[in-house]
Structure 1
Amino acid sequence: DAVPKALLATHVLFGSSLDTVKGQELIEAFEHDSRMVSLTKPQVAEMSVDRVAFESGLCSSKSEAKKLVKSGGFYINNVKVTDTTYKIADKDWIDGAVCVLRSGKSNYKLVRAASN
């Protein structure tokens, strides 16, 4: 059971495309990982991506998050986002359950859609 989860985690953290990843598998693979955070979809929908980067713990300050996005170092599901006003939409959630935030090459947070 642990090997498939480890392989999935490796694919998410070091692979390129998340098109074949299932949301529930992702949640199970990172369930007890400090990189998994829970935010409600309505919360996330109201925030710009730089705010989500800060609230998720990906960045330690709002100004750091804004600089990260503007400089092209912020990714949602391995897709670069450079617009600080962009808001995470339904299409950004993997199976409506989770989205993967990344800064640089190896700093990750997985945002799980929490119950309201």
Structure 2
Amino acid sequence: MNIENAQVQMRKGILEFCILHIISRGEVYASDMLDELTSAKMMVVEGTLYPLLTRLKNSGWLDYKWVESSSGPPRKYYVLTEEGKIFLDAMQTTWFELADSVKTVIHRTEELSKSDTSKSS
């Protein structure tokens, strides 16, 4: 596996979490999600986002409503359901636990690396 593939897989693993977080702030239009994810360097395209939004809706974690637009066709705005809020809370707990675990492993690796360096001096 090359680094680009590894990076893509890592991003895919947290994309759902990030999308739910964005939607948790209030009604949001898909292109606004794309803009935010792109500015956060998540490198998401419409072909990835829309199927994920459909899957999240089918899971009962989000819903949408149509809003008339003065500059074109109606827009679909996404919102979290109560089940989605509960799911996001559970994901956030998991995220913090996982982030702490990864930090622990990295910190220990750094400690051992410093120890090895000082022994060889």
Scaled by the length of structure 1, what TM-score is found?
0.29
Structure with the bigger percentage of strand: 1
